[in-house]
Amino acid sequence: MLTTYYYLNTIERGVTSERVILKKGIFGVRTKEIRLDAIEAIEINLGIIGRITGGGKVKILGTGGNKMVFKGIAKASKVKKDIETLL
């Protein structure tokens, strides 16, 4: 339960018209950003429960080996499609 609280309250995810952003941390904050024009691929990973509920992971692969993983996304397929429409 504590790990769920930590995860929900210390991670910010976002997609703007220019980039995808992931921020993690409580005391020290780490920020990863990938410009939309630098995205090479978007993958989704749905487990057994995720196939039923639509929830899963969204992995964004960028140029130069950059990658970003959004875990616990409620509608992973929709997020992938929304990002692809911005490309």
Please report the pLDDT score of residue 9 as a whole number. Answer: 62
| Domain regions of the chain by residue span | 2-86
From the options 2.30.29, 1.20.120, 2.60.40, 1.25.40, give the CATH code of 2-86.
Answer: 2.30.29
What's residue 2's pLDDT?
55
In single-letter form, the type of residue at position 12 comes to: E
What are the mean pLDDT values of the chain's consecutive 10-residue runs (87 residues total)? 58 86 82 90 88 86 88 85 87
Residue pair 49/16 in contact (Cβ under 8 Å)? The answer is: no
Phi, psi of 83 (to 5 degrees): -70, -40
pLDDT for the residue numbered 5: 55
**Predicted local confidence at residue 7, as pLDDT:** 53
